[in-house]
Structure formats: C-alpha cells, structure tokens
Amino acid sequence: MANFKKEVAIIGIGLTQFGELWDKSFRSLIAEAGNKAIIDAEIKPDQIDGLFGGNMSGGLFIKQEHLASLAMDHGALLPMPAMRIESACSSGGQALRAGYMAIKSGLHEVVVAGGVEKMTDVLTGPTTEALATAADQEWEAFYGVTFPGEYALIARRHMNDYGTTEEQMAQVAVKNHYNGARNPNAQYQKEITLETVMKSTKVADPLKLFDCSPITDGAAAVILASAENAKEFCDNPIWLVGSGAATDTLALHDRDDLTTLKATVVAAQSAYKHAGVTQKDIDMAEVHDCFTIAEICAIEDLGFCKKGEGGKFTEQGHTSLTGDIPINTSGGLKSKGHPVGATGIAQAVEIVLQLRGDAGKRQVKNAEIGLTHNVGGSGGSCAVHIFSR
C-alpha cells in the first residue's frame, strides 16, 4: 500500500434523498445536505471558512445564478467566501478539486465542497434541452442531438469495434440496481432483471430506457479540512490523496476515438500519479454511468480491464458488490440517480461511507482505497479522485 501524503481530509459527509423531490426546493436541498455534513463532522458552522459548490445549470433549471452565495445564505455560512464551480455533469468532481486546492493553498482551513441540482422544476425549457448545453451548442445541440443520442453513437461504435453486446450493457444496469436496492438514499431501490432492461423502450438505439440514468433532484456535501484541523475535529478522517482532472473537445465528432474518453484517461493517470498508486491498488470505484455504455468505457479507461473488454468484464461479475473491483456500490447514476451538479460529490460520499465501514447492506469488505470518476457531457471534462482510510 502506498505511503500517502495525508494533507487534506474529509471530516463530514451529507446527502439528501435522491429522486423527484416535488416538495423540496433547490435551497432546501442545499441546506439539508450541508447541515447533515456539519452534524456528521461534529463541528460548528462558524468553523467553516469557505464553500465550493458544484452546479450545472441553475440558470436554465430554476432561473437562479449566483448560486454559491445563495448556498452560504441558506446554509448560515455568511460572510465566508464561496464560489460555484461548473463543468456540466462533472461540476461536483471539479468542486471537490477546487476545495482540495483551497485547503492546500493555505487560504482556507475547513471548507464545504458541495453539489446540487434541482432538475424537475424547469421554467425555461425542457430538461433535455438544458442538459444539451453540456454538448457543443453550435455543432451538436443546435442540430438536435442530445445525450442519449451521443452515448448511443459511443455504444454502437463499441459494439462494432469490440463485439460488446446489448446484454452486456444491460448487465451494468442490473448490477447497479442490485446495489441501489441496498442504498436508502437511492432514487430507485428496486432490483431489476436482464429481461426488464432488454424489453424496455428504445430511447436511442441501441440504448433503452433502462440503459439511461434518470432525471433527479438532490444535493450532497463533504467537509474538507487540513491535516491539523482534521486531527483536532475528527477521529476517523478519510484522506483525499489524489486529484486529477482533464478536458476534451465538447463535440464527439472531434475525437480520435469515440469509445475512449481521453479526459478519463488523462485525469486518471494524473490522479494515480498524484496519489502514488496504480489502478491495481484501487479497492472500489464510483464511476460515471450516465448510460450503461459509459460505465463500460469508464472501467476500461480507468485501467480496471483491457480496452474493449469492459462488457465481458461486467458480465463475468468482476464489478459486482463481491467482485474483484466493485463498481458503483451506491447504485451509481443509474439507480441512485443523477442530479448532475451533485453527482461528483455524492460519489465521494459513497466512498467515504465505504472506507468508514458504514455502507450497511452494500458494504465492501476490507476496503482501503476508493476512487471516484465524474464525467462532463460526453467526455468534455473529467475529474478523478482517490481516497484512503
């Protein structure tokens, strides 16, 4: 096991229920996740000196920008500094990275890295249109392509190049619903069968309804502290030991290879290097399964299996809760839900629960090192983080 630099710790976590939360507002979700994290950390709000908040599109979803100040107001954290971080669906992962840098810079000692999205209150246009602003507006979204279509192109190419089957993709959904059924915060807490996925409505051929993550409301927060503060406040800090991020073209057609997300590859290499580990050291990972094919690409691009073998690897059970490398023990975006700006932070919450041994019915045994992988759009951005006990 690597001799990690234990410089930035997660000392508190908070997660709301994920789902279609008609009775909860954007601001109440922020307050709920933030307060849970503060209570979990057993600190006082005035010990927090900053916030980095991930959100994709408050402007289009709820006609509200200036979102980090709103969070400070409704989290009773005024007048400390705050900024909102946006990188489409990887906004949460990038907010975690911003919080890490804030602590390491010495400008902050204890910060919240949070994420929130309220997707079911759209005022200015349909949700799919808002999500399509993560694609290239001038070369993709304007012509009507949306994300199911983009990932369907990736899936078809993967099937063509590597013989990946629709059944193998469906197995990702079956596994993630199995895990989600063991997560009380998940949007869908029901197991499903392969037949359910295969018989579900086509959304964008070859992707079917059960290959797609849902529209979700939710918020998540973690509290980060420097090593000195962590030791003072906390008996069981989880250490954030590696951070990597990368970018790629927004437009899918500008890439060399549709099935390799270069942003994932570069971000992962950077995070592994930063932490001083290789993919073999990772005990479990939360990866960005916005569509089932995305999980297959992710486990390949992160190095957990060879390129092209992600479908077979999944089918063989290696990524199941009791497999060699459990993937998306939380249920993933597919079953836990995908409030886009919150997802990257919710992934971190799951890894912390696992490393603390608090993951209940979905606990992975003897977990020491976890990884989160958060993608923006069809791979225009990626953030990878590595955590250790």
Q: Which of residues 315-374 bind a copy of itself (CB under 8 A)?
A: none
DSSP string for residues in 93-134: HHHHHHHHHHHHHTS-SEEEEEEEE--S--SSS-HHHHHGGG
**Could you check whether the bond before residue 206 is cis, i.e. omega within 30 degrees of 0?**
yes
Nearest-angstrom CA–CA distance, 137 and 117:
21
Catalytic residue (choose from 158, 288, 338, 385): 338
Residue 216 or 226: the one with the smaller Cβ distance to a copy of itself is 226
Residue count of the chain, please give it. 389
Q: Are 10 and 223 in contact (CB under 8 A)?
A: yes
* Segment interacting with a copy of itself, rule: CB under 8 A, options 37-45, 79-87, 175-183, 319-327: 79-87
Nearest-angstrom CA–CA distance, 305 and 297:
10
Residue 208 or 373: the one with the smaller Cβ distance to a copy of itself is 373
Establish if 137 lies at the interface with a copy of itself (CB under 8 A): yes
Q: Which two tokens stand for residue 176?
A: 């993630």
Q: At what angle do helices 262-275 and 292-301 cross, to 10 degrees?
A: 50
Q: How far is the CB of 374 from a copy of itself (least distance, A)?
A: 12
Q: How far is the CB of 213 from a copy of itself (least distance, A)?
A: 17
Q: Which two tokens stand for residue 309?
A: 């073998």
Residue 88 or 293: the one with the smaller Cβ distance to a copy of itself is 88
Residue 113 or 172: the one with the smaller Cβ distance to a copy of itself is 113
Residue 183 or 264: the one with the smaller Cβ distance to a copy of itself is 264
Q: Which of residues 141-170 bind a copy of itself (CB under 8 A)?
A: 141
Nearest-angstrom CA–CA distance, 234 and 205:
49
Determine whether 158 is an active site residue: no
Establish if 104 lies at the interface with a copy of itself (CB under 8 A): yes
Q: How far is the CB of 110 from a copy of itself (least distance, A)?
A: 15
Q: Are 166 and 293 in contact (CB under 8 A)?
A: no
Establish if 64 lies at the interface with a copy of itself (CB under 8 A): yes
Establish if 252 lies at the interface with a copy of itself (CB under 8 A): no
- Total residues contacting a copy of itself by CB under 8 A comes to 73
Establish if 190 lies at the interface with a copy of itself (CB under 8 A): no
Q: Which of residues 9-38 bind a copy of itself (CB under 8 A)?
A: 25, 27
Nearest-angstrom CA–CA distance, 373 and 301:
10
* Position among 29, 43, 82, 155 found at the interface with a copy of itself (CB under 8 A): 82
The region that residue 58 occupies, defined by phi over 0 for left and psi between -120 and 50 for alpha, beta otherwise, is alpha
Determine whether 89 is an active site residue: yes
Residue 100 or 151: the one with the smaller Cβ distance to a copy of itself is 100
Establish if 386 lies at the interface with a copy of itself (CB under 8 A): no
* Position among 39, 125, 160, 167 found at the interface with a copy of itself (CB under 8 A): 125
Q: Which of residues 274-303 bind a copy of itself (CB under 8 A)?
A: 274
Nearest-angstrom CA–CA distance, 123 and 279:
43
Establish if 136 lies at the interface with a copy of itself (CB under 8 A): yes
* Position among 43, 212, 267, 371 found at the interface with a copy of itself (CB under 8 A): 267
Q: Are 294 and 264 in contact (CB under 8 A)?
A: no
Catalytic residue (choose from 89, 234, 290, 297): 89
* Segment interacting with a copy of itself, rule: CB under 8 A, options 131-139, 150-158, 217-225, 278-286: 131-139
Nearest-angstrom CA–CA distance, 189 and 241:
31
Nearest-angstrom CA–CA distance, 121 and 349:
25
* Segment interacting with a copy of itself, rule: CB under 8 A, options 71-79, 144-152, 162-170, 327-335: 71-79
Q: How far is the CB of 275 from a copy of itself (least distance, A)?
A: 13
Amino acid identity of residue 270, one-letter, is S
Across 350-372, b (16+ Cβ under 10 Å) vs e yields bbbbbbbeebeebebeebebbbb
Residue 137 or 278: the one with the smaller Cβ distance to a copy of itself is 137
Active-site annotation, residues: 89, 338
